[in-house]
Amino acid sequence: MSELNKTYTISVYTENNLGLLNRISAIFLKRHISIESFTTSESEIENIFRFIIVVNITKSRVERVVKQIEKQIEVIAAFYHSNEETIFLETALYKIKSQSLFNEKPLQKIIKNSQANIITVSPEYFVIEKTGWRKDTEKLYYDLEPYGLLQFVRSGRISVSKEPMNISNILGLNTDK
């Protein structure tokens, strides 16, 4: 029986190195795996970066890919988690014509019910922000779409694991002399 694809969140802790992004994306390219989302930011440890990569592949493939990522010299550790094992969110921004707010009565109700925040208002447009799971930001997108979205953007997934990752311990055990 062939294994089913599933969504996995891969978390990678790395040193800050210029070429590493290229190296990590090459691991997916080599295996013809498309990346659903990719975010990078400084982690809770100074000068240590964290990549969060979302892919939809089988468990055995994600295991192999994570080992290849971990093999990169400047990667400190890499983990993969299923959706059940992480707490994750995405943020979406929606830019809408200000006029619509006055002309289209249901719009006010949609925004109110969605618990989205209005973050900018100008005479021409306003921008609302919604943070949540993919289905929440997607629902708002489909609700707003009939009223004319000027722009829409969604961030990559950000996620923290339920289990500890112990990066400080890994670094503490193997420090640069």
Partner 1 sequence: MSKITRISGAEAVIKSLLKEGIDLIYGYPGGAIMPIYDELHKYEDKLNHVLTRHEQGATHAAQGFARVTGKVGVVMATSGPGATNLITGIADAQIDSTPMVCITGQVASHLLGSDAFQETDIIGISSPVTKWNCQVTKASEIPKVLAKAFYIAKSGRPGPVLIDITKDAQFELMEFSYSQCKSVRSYIPVPDYSIKQLKKAAELINNAKKPLIVFGQGVILGNAETEFKNFIEKTGIPSAWTILGLSALPSDHPLNVGMVGMHGNYAPNVLTNQCDLLIAVGMRFDDRVTGNLDTYAKQAKIIHFDIDPAEINKIVEVDVPLLGNVKETLPEILKLVNKNNHESWLGKFHSLYEIEYNKVIKEELHPTKEGLSMAEVVKEINIASKGNAIIITDVGQHQMVACRYARFNKSKSNVTSGGLGTMGFALPAALGAKMGAPEREVVAIIGDGGFQMTIQELGTIFQTGSAVKIVVLNNNYLGMVRQWQEMFFEKRYASTELINPDFVTIAKGYYIEAKKVSKREELKSSIELMMNSKKPFFLEVSVEKEHNVFPMIPTGASVSDIRLD
Q: Is the Cβ of residue 49 or residue 126 nearer to partner 1 in the bound state?
A: 49
Q: Is the Cβ of residue 65 or residue 116 nearer to partner 1 in the bound state?
A: 65
User: What is the C-alpha to C-alpha distance for residues 95 and 98, in angstroms, rounded to an integer?
Assistant: 9
Q: Is the Cβ of residue 23 or residue 95 nearer to partner 1 in the bound state?
A: 23
Does residue number 71 form part of the binding site for partner 1 (CB under 8 A)?
Answer: yes
Place of tokens 């100074």: 46
Q: Which stretch binds partner 1 (CB under 8 A): 25-33, 87-95, 103-111, 123-131?
A: 25-33
List C-alpha distances in Å: 7 to 25, 89, 162.
18, 14, 16
Q: Identify the residue among 5, 6, 26, 56 touching partner 1 (CB under 8 A).
A: 26
Does residue number 63 form part of the binding site for partner 1 (CB under 8 A)?
Answer: yes
Does residue number 176 form part of the binding site for partner 1 (CB under 8 A)?
Answer: yes
What are the tokens at 132?
């949540």
161 bridge partner residues: 86
Place of tokens 């990522």: 69
Does residue number 31 form part of the binding site for partner 1 (CB under 8 A)?
Answer: no
Does residue number 75 form part of the binding site for partner 1 (CB under 8 A)?
Answer: yes
Q: Is the Cβ of residue 4 or residue 73 nearer to partner 1 in the bound state?
A: 73
Backbone angles phi, psi at 79, to 5 degrees: -135, 155
Q: Identify the residue among 30, 87, 99, 168 touching partner 1 (CB under 8 A).
A: 30
Q: Which runs of E-coded beta strand occur in the chain? A: 6-15, 35-42, 48-57, 75-82, 86-97, 117-121, 125-132, 149-154, 158-161
Please give the residue ranges that form the binding site for partner 1 (CB under 8 A): 14-15, 17-19, 22-23, 26, 29-30, 63-64, 67-68, 70-71, 73-76, 171, 174-177
